[in-house]
Amino acid sequence: MSASRFITPLGIITLLHSAYSCLHYRSIISSSNLDLDVLASSSSSSLSSSSPPTDVIIECFVGFFLCLMGQIISAGEFVPVMSAKKELKAPLHISRDFDLWSTRASVIASVKNQ
């Protein structure tokens, strides 16, 4: 079994837990009897209604990193973007598909001759 089968779900669980922690934190802040104006004005207070706590932010980054690493591991071996052999091909605009047999010049010339 590959490691990505364990790393990716662990990252998803970590992200879900950080979302739940943030919601729980906001419910505690909103249900507390503390005045939000006092919380906003005091810089020494660790409670803030405008931003989540630091541990939730760190947990989000760790969960994202775990999900990213799990998906990179599951992608397999990377191959080079450019192939080793080069083939010479004509550009797409130089092909028989873009040859014009009937142009405006021939239509204009036929109208002038009438």
Q: Using CA atoms, how far apart are residues 42 and 36, in angstroms rounded to an integer?
A: 10
| Distance from the Cα of residue 17 to its chain's centroid | 21
The radius of gyration computed from the CA coordinates of the chain, to the nearest angstrom, equals: 32
Write the CA distances from 66 to 4, 15, 21, integer angstroms: 9, 10, 18
Looking at residue 107, what is its pLDDT? 75
From the list 50, 62, 74, 73, the residue with the least C-alpha distance to 15 is 62
Give the pLDDT confidence of 16-56 residue by residue, as tens digits.
999 999 999 988 888 886 655 555 555 545 666 678 889 99
From the list 31, 12, 13, the residue with the least C-alpha distance to 23 is 31
Give the pLDDT confidence of 53-100 residue by residue, as tens digits.
899 999 999 999 999 999 999 988 877 777 667 676 766 666 666 566
